[in-house]
Amino acid sequence: MPDVNCPVNQTLLALQETIESGRLSNPRSRRIAEEIRDLLMDVAGGRAGKDHLGAIASLNEELAYDQASPGAMAAAKAVRDALGGHREVFQSHIDTHNCAAGDCVRLVPAPCQMACPAGIDVPTYVNLIGQGHDAEAVEVIRRDNPFPWVCGLVCTRPCEFMCVRGRVDKPISIKFLKAFAAERALSDRHYRNPARGPAKGRRIAVVGAGPGGMTAAYYLALKGYGVTVFEALPVAGGMMMLGIPRYRLPREVIDREVAMLEDLGVEFRFNTRYGSDITLKGLNSSGFEAVFLAIGAHQSFKLNIPGEDDFPQVIEAIDLLRRVALGDRRIPGKHAIIVGGGNVAIDAARTCLRLGTEEVTLAYRRTRAEMPADMEEVEQAVDEGIHMSFLTIPKAIRGDSGRPGRLTGLECIRAKLIRKDDSDRLFPVPVEGSDFVIEADTVVSAIGQRIDLDCLRDLKGLKWSRRQTIQANAVSMETPVPGVFAGGDAVTGPATVVEAIGAGKRAAGAIDRYLSGIPQPKMPPVPVRRSRVEWMEVPAGTKMTLRRPEMPLLNLERRRTTFQQVELGYTENVAREEARRCLRCDICLRCGKCVEVCRDMMGVDALQFGFLNFDQPGPTDFRVTADRCILCGACAANCPNDAIRIIDRGDERLLSYCGTILNRQKLERCQECGAVLGPQRYLEFLQRRTQGVSPVVVDRKLCHACARRHTARVHTENSPV
C-alpha cells in the first residue's frame, strides 16, 4: 500500500491536459491521443481487457510518428515512459480491478471490503442480494472466500464494524445477508464451482482440514494444482466442525461447502496425523512439491490449580466440544462450572445446558464489562439460564473424601479489580478471607488454546515465536523451511474463521508463486474490486427509516434442550430490504467535495452527510436535502466518482446519491420552445443571483435561445438599424 501517486491516473491526467491545452495541432494526432485517453480511462475504471496495454502502446507509436508536433511527441514520450516504468501497475489495474494508491477512484475498495481479512467485495454482493441475484452474490463471495454459508453464520464480521452506515444508525447486517444468499443459492441448486484451470501436473499437500487449509486447497485446485488435504480427525472442518457448536453452525452447512471442494477435485485423507502418519520427507518423496501447514490450535491451557489432574470430571472445553461435535451426547454432569470468559467458555456452557446439565455456572475472574466473549453470545447464554459468577478466581478442585475421584465442587476466592501503577488495565487480585465453594460435579476449563508443537518436532528449521506459534512471513506465509508454508491459528494463535480463510488464500497465491519461480510480495494484498453493480433506487425517507432487522431466534425451550440452529435466518423480504440500506461506499469515497461545494460555493448547505467523518461522525439526514436543495447540480459536477447525479426523468429533475433520491422537483419548461429550464427553485435562485441585472423578459419563462431571440426582436423593433 504505497502512498505514492498512481502512474495510471497521472498518465491519464497529463494526457487529458495535453488534449485540452490545444498543443496537439494536428487533428489526426488529437484523435489518436483521445483514443489513448479512452483506453487509459478503461484501465483506470476497471473496464480494460487483456488487449488494452498492447493497443495503447501501438496507438502511442502512431502518436509519436507526428514529428511535426512537439506536443504529440512529448505526450507520446510521457505515455511510453509510464508504460515502460510502471507496466506492472497498469497490468495490476487490469487484472485485479484495484488501485493500490487509491487515485483511480473507481477501483478503490469500500471500508467494509478493506476490513474483511479475506477481502470479499461486500458492496457488490450485498447489492446483488438486494436485486435478487443470490447465486451471483455467492459467486462474488467465493472469489475470495470458499465458505460463504459458514461465514454467514459464524463470522466475527469486522466489515460491520467499519460499515459507514453504522455512523448513521446501525451497520448493514452483512453477515446474515451472506448466509441468506448462500442458503438460497444452495437450495435453488445454483451454488456452483467456478471452472478449474488447466491441470499443472504438480502436487501440493495441505496439513489440516480447517478453514485455512481448505481455503488454500480450494484456490490451489482452481489454479490447476493437484491438492491433497491430510487431516488427523475423521471429519473435515477443523475448529469450524469441532470448536463451534451445532446450534450456531449446523454440520450440514460445513458438509455442503466441503463437498464443493471435493467436487473440484481436492482429495481428503482423514485419520492421518502429521508427525506420526506423515512427515515432510515422506510427502516430498511422494511427489508433493509444497506443503501448507494449517494445523490450528487444538490444545487447551490448564487451570494449574490443585486437584486438576486428580478428577476425571475436570475436562477441557475444547475436548468437550470436540466430543459432542463427533456425536457424543452424554451429560457431562448435573452441575457444571465453566471456567473462563471467552467465546469457547460460552459455547461450552451452552453445550452443557443442551446436553441436559441441570445447572451451569460460568466462573470468570473479572466482571461482565471485561468479558472477552461476544456480547450477543453472552446475552443469549444468560437468556438460556446460564448463571454468571463474576470476580471469581478458581483456587482448588474439591473432592469427596469418602469416594476418591468424585468431584464435589470448585473452591474459589472472590476477586477485586485493581489498577496497577504502570498500566490502565484492571487486574483481578484475590480478596483475603473471601473463599467460597461452588458445588458442582463437573469443571470445564476454557481459558484458551495453543497449538500442538509436538507433531511438528521433526520439522528441522521451523522457528517458533515466543507465543509458541509457528513463525511465518505475514505476507507470503513462508516458513524458514523451503517449500513449507504456514497459516491460520498455528501462526496467529487462536483467531477467527475469516482470518484463517484470508491466510489460506494468501498462502495459495504464495505457493503458486513459489512453484512458478515468481518473487514473493513484500506487502499484504489489497482487496480486489470484483465489479461495480448498478445501485438500487431508494427514496431518502425510506433510506433513513429502514431499520436493521432483528434476527429471529429459536424459542427458549428448544434452545435449552436441543442443538437446533438458534438463529433462524432472514426471510426474503427482510433480506432484500436490508440490502437497500447500503450506502454504496464502493462508489462514494466520502471525499466531501459535494458538501463543501453546496455549502461554501453555492451557499445552499443542503447535504447533511455527517457520516463522512470517521473519527467524529455528525448527524446524517438525507431527508433534509429536499427542503433546501435547488437542484443546481454543483455537487454532481464536482463528484470525482459519479456517486451523486442529476437526472432528468419525465417532468422531474432528481438528485441521486448512490441511488438514494435526495430531491425531486418538477421541471419548468420554456414557454415558447418547451426546452427544459430546470426546477422552479433553481430558477428563483438564479433570479436572486441576477437581481442587479434588469430582466430581459418579465413573467415569462424562456430558455436562453428564445430569450435571446425575443430580446433581438425587441431591439430590432425599438431601434431599427
Residue numbers at the binding site for other proteins (CB under 8 A): 1, 3, 102, 111, 114-117, 119, 156, 158, 161-162, 301, 340-344, 366, 370, 372-375, 423-426, 446-449, 465-467, 474-475, 492-496, 499, 522-524, 526-527, 614-615
Which bin fits 324, alpha (ψ -120 to 50), beta or left (φ > 0)? Answer: alpha
**Residue nearer to other proteins on the CB measure, 1 or 693:** 1
Kindly state the smallest distance separating residue 167's Cβ from other proteins, in Å: 11
Nearer to other proteins, 139 or 499 (CB): 499
- Around 635, how many Cα atoms within 13 Å sit in the side-chain half-sphere? 33
Q: From the CB of 282, what's the least distance to other proteins, in Å?
A: 31
Closest CB 653 distance from other proteins, rounded Å = 35
Least distance to other proteins, CB of residue 585, Å:
11
Q: How far is the CB of 663 from other proteins (least distance, A)?
A: 30
Please state, as a whole number, how many other Cβ atoms lie within 10 Å of the Cβ of residue 188.
10
Helix (H) or strand (E) holding 176: helix 174-187
Closer of 583 and 632 to other proteins (Cβ): 583
Q: From the CB of 91, what's the least distance to other proteins, in Å? A: 22
What are the backbone angles phi and psi of residue 669, rounded to the nearest 5°? -120, 160
Rounded least distance, CB 412 to other proteins, Å: 18
Asked if 317 and 347 count as a contact pair (C-beta separation under 8 A), the reply is yes
Tracing cell 453546496 back to the chain, one arrives at 598
In contact, 342 and 373? CB cutoff 8 Å: yes
- Which uninterrupted H or E stretch holds 288? strand 288-293
Q: How far is the CB of 95 from other proteins (least distance, A)?
A: 19
- Supply the DSSP symbol for 510: H
Q: Which of residues 162 and 168 has its CB atom nearest to other proteins in the complex?
A: 162
Residue ranges with strand state E in 370-476: 387-389, 392-399, 407-419, 426-439, 442-445, 449-450
Q: Measured from the CB atom, is 169 or 668 closer to other proteins?
A: 169
Compute the half-sphere exposure of residue 268: CA atoms within 13 Å on the CB side of its CA.
24
Handedness of CA 674, 680, 682, 688 (dihedral sign): positive
Nearest CB to other proteins, comparing residues 261 and 585:
585
The least CB distance from residue 673 to other proteins, in Å, is 50
Vertex 70 angle, CA 66 and 72, to 5°: 50
CA distance 124 to 531: 7
Q: With respect to other proteins, which residue has the nearer C-beta, 161 or 270? A: 161
DSSP 14-45: HHHHHHHHT---SHHHHHHHHHHHHHHHHHHH
Alpha helices in 46-133 (DSSP H): 52-64, 70-85, 87-96, 111-115, 122-130
CB-nearer residue toward other proteins: 321 or 540: 321
The least distance separating other proteins from the CB of residue 505, rounded to whole angstroms, comes to 13
| Residue number, 369 or 721, with CB nearest to other proteins | 369
What are the CA-CA distances from residue 57 to residues 40, 68, 75 (Å)? 11, 20, 12
Half-sphere exposure of 505 (CA within 13 A, CB side): 23
Grid coordinates belonging to 294: 494449517
The residue (of 343 and 408) whose beta carbon lies closer to other proteins is: 343
Closer of 271 and 465 to other proteins (Cβ): 465
Q: Are strands 442-445 and 314-316 parallel, antiparallel or unpaired?
A: parallel
Helices 27-45 and 70-85: crossing angle in degrees, nearest 10, is 20
Shortest distance (Å) from residue 393 CB to other proteins: 13
The smaller minimum CB distance to other proteins, of residues 294 and 447, is found at: 447
Pairing status of strand 387-389 against strand 652-657: unpaired
- Smaller CB distance to other proteins: residue 3 or 699? 3
List, as one string, the DSSP characters of 613-662: -SSS---B-TTHHHHH-----HHHHH-TTS-EEEEEETTEEEEEETTEEE
Q: Exposure of 580 by Cβ count < 10 A (0-12 exposed, 13-18 middle, 19+ buried)? A: buried
By beta-carbon proximity to other proteins, the closer residue of 488 and 678 is 488
- Do residues 531 and 121 lie in contact, with contact meaning Cβ atoms separated by under 8 Å? yes
Query: H or E stretch including 503?
Result: helix 497-516
Rounded to whole angstroms, how far apart are CA atoms 275 and 277?
A: 6
Minimum CB–partner distance for residue 114 and other proteins (Å):
5
CB of 471 to other proteins, least distance (A): 8
Shortest separation between residue 347's beta carbon and other proteins, angstroms: 11
Q: Which is nearer to other proteins, 224 or 430 (CB)?
A: 430
> Which residue in 136, 139, 144 sits closest to 112, CA to CA?
144
Cβ 490 to other proteins shortest distance, Å: 14
**Cβ neighbours for 568, distance < 8 A, ≥ 6 positions apart:** 551, 552, 553, 554
Which among 63, 45, 194, 159 is positioned nearest to 107, based on CA atoms?
45
Nearer to other proteins, 270 or 614 (CB): 614
Q: What sign for the dihedral angle of Cα 455, 457, 458, 463?
A: positive
CB of 296 vs other proteins, minimal distance in Å:
14
Distance of alpha carbon 146 from alpha carbon 141, whole angstroms: 7
Least CB distance to other proteins at residue 523 (A):
5
Classify strands 407-419 and 426-439 as parallel, antiparallel or unpaired: antiparallel
Q: Closer to other proteins at the Cβ: 102 or 356?
A: 102
